[in-house]
Structure 1
Amino acid sequence: MRCNAARTIISSHGHPWYPQPCPRSDPAFTVSHLKNGSPATVSRAGVLFLNEADVGWQPYVQSWVDELNQVQDHIDTKETAWLEALVNQYIPPTIDNIRKNKWKHITPLMDFAMVSTLCSILEGLLTKKNCPPGSDKDVYEAYFQYAAVWAFGGCFGADKANDFRKMFSEWWRAEWGKTSFKFPDEGLVFDYYVELKSDGSGKVEGKHWKERVPSYTHATGEGASFSDIVVPTMDTTRLSFLINMLMPRQKPVMLVGAAGSAKTTIFQDNLSQLPDELMFFAISFNSFTNAGSLQPILEQPLEKKTGTMFAPPGTKKLIYFIDDVNMPSPDKYGTQSAIALLRQQIDYGGFYDLKKLTMKEIRGVQYLGAMNPTAGSFFIIDRMQRHFATFATLFPENDVLYTIYYKILAGHFASGSFADSINKVVGDKNQLANKIIGAALMLHKLVADAFLPTAVKFHYAWNLRELSRITQGMLMSSPDNYHEPFTIIRLWLHESYRVYGDRLTDEQDAGRFNEMVLRCSKNFFEDENQDDLHQKPLAFTKFAKWSPGMDADEELPYFQVADGKKLSLILTKKLEEYNESNARMDLVLFEQARQALLPCAS
């Protein structure tokens, strides 16, 4: 857009624009829309409109193929001709079919963004190891199919109405089932990776990702934290493969999924294993984050190299991990200034010094991002989104959830000196852990289906975090204080009431929840006396075993208080001690108040 009257531009924030060098004295902008333009601006602007289809993605792909030919010595003219043919064979029909069927990605993506992701994945796959000199076209086509599946379908999600990822998988098999490479029929095309056969034939085959899932080792001892526990699954394994392949190639990666879908966990697990030459800096966005508050945070891990150039310390490379990318509140013009600042750094290699008003050149940095499409602004501007290779993190299936939490709980029982009745194994399953996790998953599903969020009960949102909190409470059990399965089951009941029951707002919901707990208890713990199992008080805490002779830093056991009178006496005594040295609080510690204090004091 070229404007011959600069005074009509009311605010530079009104238009998401790129300043462009212009030999004339009047300003020239590249804007994505004129939604915020005043009538005077629109009437005086000379607009050259280019949509995404005018230039298209073909010039980018051609440039990428030419560059690949120069940097990869095993890719010659013949291989580049194969790649160009594969591009023309696969990309246009795939994009047309997505648009025709109106399949929706979990966040809006431009065609160019998907094609750019395809090229980045191919860069990581078409190495000399995977494609030795002399490899035939079938090898390149197999890797091309794998890259295309994730570039175009990796951001598809699923909801109660539609499973777009499954639809894409079925279409891919039907459309390309007669090509030289065919994904195995079981499951989805996303469940397989491509690898050279070990027989030395130079052929490739599709192998299931479950064959590459690492084994889980339960961490114990000093320094072990529940937040550091990561149970490898097929989803985490294949996403980690893509992340670790794209990061060294300076390609920003974004994971998009609902709360509790392990976006942050996957990134943190990979970032914790970075080599020495890489470092990371985590930033969590919120609704108050703006460019003014973000820029000093971005500058914290950087050091000055020359006059206006800044970079990470020494020769290291820096990875910014931005959590909740879409959380900043838009201003009245719809601009999220924090995201605009990040985009300026990515597009132009830096941002302006707020005091000197000179450009700061930022080198040696790249970005990873996580985003919840049901929160904040729901999505980010396409000019920022196009830079990222975007993949969806879906809520795990029930069998995957069982595997995750069973391994954690069974690992906890096996790592300690728990009684044989707690560690009883039938086949290859710890029977107690098997029953508790089964009951926990059943209860979670009942709660999630029955207690839906409303305008008044907006906090009725249930995800993996609830299951994690219950499991975290279970891991506070110790062999010194838990000698039989009965006490462990009581602990699960207590944690369930604290995690779910404490968030319910009326007696009717609380009554329904009690019925759900009883139903799960009878289904999975039929051998136990149900009256004894649910006997009140159902109270577990740490302070019950505190005594005056104990060290203040000593770790107290998390154990049940079976006597309601004893619990009342302990809390009353603690209240008296508090009142002796603080402003007096005359509290009546009735049963519900005592129950509410337990998680606060633990």
Structure 2
Amino acid sequence: MLAVVCVPEVSSWIICDGDIDPEWIESLNSVLDDNRLLTMPSGERIQFGPNVNFVFETHDLSCASPATISRMGMIFLSDEDTDVSALVKSWLKGQPDECRSNLENWMGDYFHRGLDWVLKQNDLVVETSLVGTVLNGLSHLSGVTERGQFVVSLIRGLGGNLNLKSRQDFAKEVLVWARESPPDPRKPLDTYYDPESGRLCVYTLERPDGLSLEELTHTHTLPVIQTPDMQRGLHCFSHWLSSQHRQPFILVGPEGCGKGMLLRYAFSRLRSTQVAVVHCSAQTSSRHVLQKLSQTCLLLSSNTGRAYRPKHCENLVLYLKDINLPRPDKWGTSNLIAFLQQVLTYHGFYDENLDWVGLENVQVVASMSTGGAVGRHTLTSRFTSIVRICTIDYPDREQLQTIYSAYLQPVLQRSLGSQAAWASTGKTHQLAGSLVQVYEQVKAKFTVDDHSHYLFTPCVLTQWVLSLLRYDMSAGNCNITDSVLEVVAYEAKRLFRDRLVSSKDIHSFDNILSSVIRGDWGSDALDNMTDGFYVTWGASEGGGVMAPGQSLPPHGKSLGRLDFADLRQVIHKGAVLYGRDNRELDLLLFWEVCHFVSRVDRVLSRPGGSLLLAGRSGVGRRTATCLVSHMHGYTLYTPKISRGYSLKHFNNDLKNVMQLAGLEGQQVVLLLEDYQFVHPAFLEMVNSLLSSGEVPGLYSPEELEPLLSSLKDPASQDGFTGPLFNYFAYRIQQNLHIVLIMDCTNSNFTISCESNPALYRRCSVQWMDGWSESSMKKIPEMLLAKVEGEGEKSGGEKGHKRKGSASGQGDLCRSFLMIHESCREYGATPSQYMAFLHVYTSIYSSKQSQLTLRQQHLQAGVFKLNEAKALVDELKRRAAEQSTLLRTKQQEADSALQEITTSMQNASDQKTEMEKIKGKIAQEVSKCEERKGKIDDELREVQPLVDEAKRAVGNIKPESLSEIRSLRMPPDVIRDILEGVLRLMGIFDTSWVSMK
């Protein structure tokens, strides 16, 4: 703008080509009026002169205000003003001289007539303009030299954007106009022109000579079976991929009809061409396309300016998958579509510095699914007018049977092992017919009108066939046919039955499956499946813990059969180990829990297996996921949501899991629940991650370069060619398992899933909204048994009492269920049922412990009372004995008292006598004292004699004593002395022996 203002003498035109956005065009109101003044956000003002003119080129003014429109003149170019003849003449001038004359005649005879028929029918798949329809028709007619070739090309061109029924009618009409007889009048669309024979031919099935198992190893590179529909679709758009007629185009078709496979096959036939895939999502914008271009192209400078050119090849195909997913802004403008429109119209774009950058040898190809589902947005007619459009549809039943019989043969030969002879062409064709019949009946019975996730496409058939590689059908059953049918039926239940909502739908599916198997095979194999689960822990190999960095087998770990009791034991052991390493699981192992675990195990044990677990809280989805992840040795990651958790935190969490899976090669489970999607962009980013293994714009180029350098060696070992970022995304798709736990009763559930189609397309939808009635009754029994578990150890009388109360406990369990059922209309969930039971068991346990404690107190009191009673009885007995003894003693005491009384009376008399005696004794004492004095006097006189005698005795020699003892009889003197001594000693035996 400054440039045009500085040169007032030069008239300048500023062309604004694109949608009118009030946020920027209303800022030009002051420029468009008489003031011609533009005020910049910085405050700077630019004054325009009369030499500056504005032109706004757009197709819609619904968002422009009258104040803006009234300031400008308007030129309205409608379809009525379009001169188709002039457009055709302009096109004819560019055709070779040798075919121009014929083309001019045929155009007058058939093209204008065909165009009128298409416009009158007005049954377009993608909305476009008149010019877009004309260009679509002309795109197939370049260089046509034969009338038959012109007729077929006209049908493909003008009929390429019609619905199937109108396309068939259009083909019949054109063939009638041209008086051409189609080889097969029932299938006019299968007609093609054979240049060698110069006549019309019909597409026929090109049966493959024999597929090998290696061709089915990777699901994203499956071989294309050349059915008539595939050949027709390929010929419809391959013309636009050729170097002479390269044009941008959109391949349109219903979900899962094979658009991606067909394009991949067509791209693989191009020489020196690289494909850059952009998996579109709600938040995809031009920034993500530019990032992809910077990864695959070089920015070169030349005399014409700067331009992007392919890095490793001559041509680049920029393939935008699901181009109708990017969400428009509030004014209805899609940033991505506006950018592509600029690129296709002007062959370049303005970069961040507003410098023009061209695109050379880059072709834009897109695909999109039809239908007006939430999350898919209508493309603007301006964009669809400048691209070519080709529509394809689902293959018919016969072609589906052919495709999957070709896939089934190598699969069954591998799974049957020594019984591979069973997998003959006839058997596989018959089995493929049964599979297709079940698929078509299920698709007709359960539609997206009932539930949005009832989306069954041929992709389900592909999964059904390839999943059979996980089973060993040669083991266990002696009847090989029953063994195959049992595995086929089990896999069908997992693919179809597990996503059905109501018991009525489940019953209908069971009837479909059993009727087809019984009708086609006359087998009752389904009767043996009531108690069987196919899980990785039942296989002979591959069910253990994964080592860090170990990759899963291409189609997943092997599955083997376990009955309910064995699976319950395996899960119990796993829960014990989980409790040791993480936290203790309060897990009740009834049938539904084991069934949920088996379903989660089946999906998580295959490469990139992801889950959408739809249900209500408390049903056991998180527990099953955590348990299975731990039992396989996976890394479980779930965001830790806090008050300030933002988009930046979620980006960091995604980077962590992507690096664990993509760089380190670990098997990672990203567990996400409803409450963790605090920002709408979270789910959109997960949708991108599921679709492509990447989140556009998550990594900056500066971050990617050091990260991807570590993948060079693994990429070369795997034989991967192409950008390292593609290998990084491939490893993420193989090693990252995303588990979404969502509440199906949430009002946003359906909208969220439809807005992010990868949730249905890339995840295995598992409907887990509750438990069966029998399990609901079993749960309180298990909880009560757990509470009373200790009581079972006590025997005898208590055991009889519990047996007697079994019927009462059954009534109690039924009462629990009745109470819960009565609250269903108020939104009662399994978690609330479990909370109800836990509260009851808690109260029951508390009351039981209180009563037990009280009983113990009472029993202790009774015991003490019994002890006291026994003691009282003993004391009574002893008291009785003491009473008898007391009476005896009392009598004795009375007698003694009487005697004492008598004695006291006698003592009084004796006292008088004693006093008399005492007086006499005193006299006697006086006399004794007097006598003693006399004796002492006498002793004093005798004492010297005694002492002398002592000395004399001491001088007697022992020999003399011995001599005396030896005498037979002593002398008289000695005898008299010794006799006196003896008598003094009080011894009256005076014999000689005594004396000795």
- 1:343 partner letter: Q
Which of 427, 440, 443 is the matching residue for 1:445?
440
What is the correspondence of 1:197-212 to structure 2 with a 5 Å cutoff?
Answer: 197-198=196-197, 204-210=198-204
Structure 1 residues 250 and 529, CA, compared in 2 at 3 Å: closer, same or farther? closer
Deviates more, 1:395-404 or 1:303-312: 303-312
CA contact (8 A) 2:497 2:506 kept: yes
- 1:289 alignment partner in structure 2: 284
Q: CA distance change for structure 1 residues 326 and 347 in 2, over 3 Å: closer, same or farther?
A: same
- Counterparts of 2:345 and 2:84, CA distance in 1: 18
The answer to whether structure 1 residue 507 and structure 2 residue 513 are counterparts is: no
In structure 1, how many angstroms separate the alpha carbons of the residues matched to 2:285 and 2:346?
A: 19
Q: Does 1:45 align with 2:72?
A: yes
The equivalent of 1:34 in structure 2 is 61
Q: 1:240 and 1:542 mapped to 2: Cα distance?
A: 44
Which residue matches 2:867?
Answer: none
SS in 2 for 1:319: strand
Larger radius of gyration: 2
Change beyond 3 A, Cα 1:261–1:383: same
Provide Cα deviations, 1:322-381, integer angstroms capped at 9, x if missing partner: 110111112111111111111111111111212x12222121101111111214445311
**CA separation in 1, counterparts of 2:543 and 2:286?**
52
1:517 is aligned to 513
Match status 1:568 vs 2:564: no
Does 42-51 or 585-594 show the bigger shift?
585-594
Structure 1: state its 5+ residue gaps.
16-21, 70-74, 127-138, 199-203
* Per-residue deviation, 1:436: 2.9
- Deviation track 1:481-540 (CA, whole Å, cap 9, x = no partner) reads 5872322211111111111111112222222222222222221231445533x3422434
Does the 8 A contact of 2:323 with 2:367 survive in 1? yes
Call closer, same or farther: CA 1:547–1:216 in 2, change over 3 Å. Answer: closer
Q: 2:168, 2:189 within 8 Å by CA — same for their partners in 1?
A: no
After superposition, what is the alpha-carbon deviation per residue over 1:5-62, rounded to whole angstroms, capped at 9, x for unaligned?
A: xxx97334899xxxxxx99413111111211110112222201111134233333332
Q: Where does 1:290-369 land on structure 2 (aligned, <5 Å)?
A: 290-306=285-301, 308-313=306-311, 316-354=314-352, 356-369=353-366
What is the letter of the counterpart of residue 413 of structure 1? L
Using the TM superposition, give the Cα deviation of residue 215 of structure 1 relative to its aligned residue in structure 2, in angstroms.
2.5
Distance 1:13 1:57, change over 3 A: farther
Query: Using the alignment, how far apart are the partners of 1:539 and 1:13 within structure 2?
Result: 63
In structure 2, what is the Cα distance between the partners aligned to 1:559 and 1:88?
A: 65
Aligned partners of 2:473 and 2:484 also within 8 Å: no
Whole-angstrom distance in 2 between the partners of 1:590 and 1:564: 9
Question: Hey, what's the Cα distance between the residues in 1 that align with 2:569 and 2:541?
Answer: 13
Change (3 A) 1:10 1:244: closer
Bigger Cα displacement from structure 2, 289-298 vs 457-466:
289-298
Distance in 2 (alpha carbons) for counterparts of 1:592 and 1:46: 71
Q: For 1:539, give the aligned amino acid.
A: Y
Range with bigger deviation, 559-568 or 397-406: 559-568
Matched, 1:116 2:118: no
Contact 1:13 1:333 in 2 (8 A): no
Q: What secondary structure, in the 3-state scheme, does the structure 2 residue paired with 1:227 have?
A: helix
Per the alignment, residue 279 of structure 1 pairs with 274
Alignment CA distance shift 1:35-1:206 (3 Å): same
1:562, CA displacement in angstroms?
3.7
Note if 1:461 corresponds to 2:488. no
State the alpha-carbon separation in 2 of the partners of residues 411 and 227 from structure 1. 18
Higher RCO by CA contacts (8 Å cutoff, separation 6 or greater): 1
Percent identical pairs in the alignment equals 20
Residue identity matched to 1:220? L
Quote the offset at 1:98 in angstroms. 2.1
- Alignment CA distance shift 1:586-1:544 (3 Å): farther
Instruction: Give secondary structure in 1 for the equivalent of 2:409.
Output: helix
Q: In the alignment, is residue 183 of structure 1 matched against residue 172 of structure 2?
A: no
**C-alpha RMSD of the superposition:** 3.1
Q: Deviations over 1:150-186 (max 9, x none)?
A: 001122224xxxx222222232233332xxx543353
Instruction: Give the distance between the partners of 1:43 and 1:548, measured in 2 at CA.
Output: 73
Task: Please tell me whether the aligned partners of residues 56 and 112 of structure 1 are also in contact (alpha carbons under 8 angstroms).
Answer: no
1:241 aligned counterpart, secondary structure: helix
- Judged with a 3 Å threshold, the aligned counterparts in structure 2 of structure 1 residues 588 and 357 are, in CA distance, closer, same or farther, namely farther
| SS of the residue 1:242 aligns to | helix
Q: Partner residue of 1:395? A: 394
1:64-117 alpha-carbon deviations (Å, 9 max, x no partner): 322223xxxxx33xx3122112112112111212233x2402212333223323
From 145, 167, 170, the counterpart of 1:168: 170
Provide the residue aligned with 2:126 in structure 1: 107
Q: Deviations over 1:195-235 (max 9, x none)?
A: 2345xxxxx20011116x36364232498223322322111
The residue that corresponds to 2:558 in the other structure is 558
SS at match of 2:278: strand
Q: Which moved more, 1:571-580 or 1:379-388?
A: 571-580
Aligned-partner SS, 2:23: coil
- What are the ranges of 5 or more consecutive residues in structure 2 without an aligned counterpart? 1-12, 28-48, 606-996
Partner of 1:141: 147
Post-superposition offset of 1:417:
6.7
Hey, what's the Cα distance between the residues in 1 that align with 2:568 and 2:474?
25
Deviation string, structure 1 residues 274-296 (Cα, Å, up to 9, x no partner): 32x21110111111222344432
Query: Would you tell me which structure has more helix in proportion to its own residues?
Result: 2
Runs of 4+ in structure 1 displaced over 6 angstroms?
547-551
* Distance (Å, rounded) in 1 between the aligned partners of 2:95 and 2:440: 49
Change (3 A) 1:487 1:327: same
Q: Is the 8 A contact 2:517 2:523 kept in 1?
A: no
Query: Using the alignment, how far apart are the partners of 1:61 and 1:103 within structure 2?
Result: 21
**Partners in 2 of 1:216 and 1:265 — Cα distance?**
20
Answering whether residue 378 of structure 2 is matched by residue 379 of structure 1, we say: yes
Q: Is the 8 A contact 2:486 2:526 kept in 1?
A: no
| Partner residue, 1:494 | 490
Q: 1:99 to 1:254 in 2, by over 3 A?
A: same
Change (3 A) 1:14 1:509: farther
Are the aligned partners of 2:419 and 2:474 in contact in 1 as well (CA < 8 Å)? no
> Distance in 2 between the 1:487 and 1:548 partners?
21
Report SS of the residue matched to 1:256. Answer: strand
- Structure 1 residue 479: Cα displacement: 6.8
Question: TM-score with structure 2 length normalisation?
Answer: 0.52
Q: Determine if contact 1:481/1:557 at 8 Å carries over to the other structure.
A: no
Which residue does the alignment assign to 2:764?
none
- Further displaced range: 503-512 or 279-288: 503-512
201, 213, 218: which one aligns with 1:220: 213
Are 1:491 and 1:540, in contact at CA under 8 Å, matched by a contact in 2?
Answer: no
SS in 2 for 1:261: coil
Q: Does 1:597 align with 2:597?
A: yes
Match for 1:87: what amino acid?
Answer: M
Instruction: Indicate how the Cα distance of structure 1 residues 11 and 118 shifts in structure 2: closer, same or farther if over 3 A, else same.
Output: same
